[in-house]
């Protein structure tokens, strides 16, 4: 009968774990996990975020287009109103706008330079600049010879000294080198369409 009273349970032939090798393996596993997270998760999330931003921009643009399309009916109605069949008597009596534009373009390119103009009903207001008052008078005379013009007059004319070429704001390029310019406001009373036809 054996007389030994203790048992040795240590496994036979098992090597101890090398801590340096284990640390390298753990480090490798962590690197692989972070690369997996970066390329397969974070990059995908960034791509999804960018795509959502693009979708929001496209939706905003689409909403703007829908608003414009919704106002198309109003635009169509306004366009239909300005055909000859839909105009009121007052609108039909107004001078031909295309003829007024041609007249302004012709006359403001020769004697004087146009700064601004406004057409309301049959009243045309011109703001012009010229090198002298004779050019303004010549322009008024020429405007008065058009068939669509009933009366033409200068309301204000002011001579302005220029301090040097291009230093005064609102001076047309053609007049920028002059010592002075004359600014004038001209009122042109236009004939109604019925008066032109009866002439």
pLDDT at 44: 76
Work out how many domains the chain is built from and give that number.
1
pLDDT at 164: 53
pLDDT at 16: 67
> Is residue 174, in this structure, part of any structural domain at all?
yes
> Is residue 190, in this structure, part of any structural domain at all?
yes
How many Cα neighbours within 13 Å face the side chain of 38? 6
pLDDT at 85: 58
pLDDT at 11: 61
> Is residue 13, in this structure, part of any structural domain at all?
no
Which structural domain, as residue segments, surrounds residue 102? Answer: 94-198
Walk along the chain (199 residues) in steps of 10 and give the mean pLDDT of each run: 64 65 79 76 79 89 82 70 61 75 80 82 88 87 89 89 57 64 90 62
> Is residue 27, in this structure, part of any structural domain at all?
no
Which CATH number goes with the domain that contains 189?
A: 3.30.1360.100
> Is residue 86, in this structure, part of any structural domain at all?
no
């Amino acid at each position: 009968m054996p007389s030994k009273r203790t048992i040795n349970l240590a496994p036979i032939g098992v090597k101890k774990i090398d801590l340096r090798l284990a640390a390298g393996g753990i480090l490798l596993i962590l690197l692989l996990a972070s690369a997996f997270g970066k390329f397969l998760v974070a990059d995908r999330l960034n791509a999804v975020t960018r795509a959502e931003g693009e979708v929001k921009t496209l939706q905003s643009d689409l909403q703007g287009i829908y608003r414009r399309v919704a106002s198309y009916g109003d635009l169509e109605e306004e366009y239909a109103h300005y055909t000859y069949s839909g105009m009121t008597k007052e609108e039909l009596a107004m001078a031909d706008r295309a003829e007024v534009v041609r007249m302004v373009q012709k006359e403001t390119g020769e004697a004087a330079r146009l700064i601004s103009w406004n057409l309301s009903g049959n009243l045309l207001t011109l703001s012009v600049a010229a090198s002298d008052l004779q050019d303004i008078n010549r322009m008024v005379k020429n405007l008065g010879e058009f068939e669509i013009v009933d009366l033409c007059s200068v309301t204000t004319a002011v001579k302005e000294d220029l301090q040097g070429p291009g230093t005064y704001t609102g001076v047309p390029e053609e007049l920028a080198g002059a010592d002075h310019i004359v600014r004038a406001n001209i009122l042109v009373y236009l004939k109604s369409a019925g008066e032109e036809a009866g002439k």
